[in-house]
Amino acid sequence: MKTQKIMARRHQRGVAAVEFALILPLLVLLLAFVVFFGRLCWHYTVAVKAASDMATFMALSRNTEMLEAQPDLGEISIVKLARVIGDTELAELRPGKDLKPVIDISCDGVICRGAALPNEIIVEVQMRMYAPFLPDVLIQLGDLDGIWVRAEARVRYAGA
């Protein structure tokens, strides 16, 4: 009886190692996707906060700052300052490949040039998030340059 138990144990010794070898790739892939989607959520959250902060900053600016026309018909200085705020908040991300996020700021849907007081400030942040540990998976999904992250904030102008 004892010899049968000993023989059965000897035949079962490698089963746990084989099961672990079969399950390990799936666990690693699952962990990689959890990390990837965690980074995606982090990038989106930072982009939403930056867009909201820029829009709120501009919405609370004074009328004189919003009506400051530039001689070259470029953006007014309050917009340039809002861009600095956004760049500072987005600097921690650096989504990859040395590309800066694209920040679009508009007043009632057009470029803020100081011609009139806006009713609404719209800030849009777009950037690509790259996953250096999953490039082969992204190629198979058809997106070679990372995943686009887009955030938008709309705030009514409350200037004084």
pLDDT digits (tens, 9 = 90+) for 80-104: 899 999 999 998 876 555 678 899 9
Confidence of residue 141 (pLDDT cuts 50, 70, 90): low
The 3-state secondary structure of 111-133, one letter per residue: ECCCCCCCCEEEEEEEEEECCCC
Tally DSSP H helices, then E strands, for the chain. 5, 4
Which of 25-29, 63-67, 149-153 is predicted most confidently?
149-153
For residue 106, give every residue at least 6 positions away whose Cβ sits within 8 Å of its Cβ, in sequence order, or none: 112, 121, 122
Higher per-residue pLDDT: 46 or 138: 46
pLDDT at residue 96 in the model: 54
Report the candidate in 40, 112, 108 with the shortest Cα–Cα distance to residue 81.
Answer: 112
Phi first, then psi, for residue 157 (nearest 5°) are -75, 130
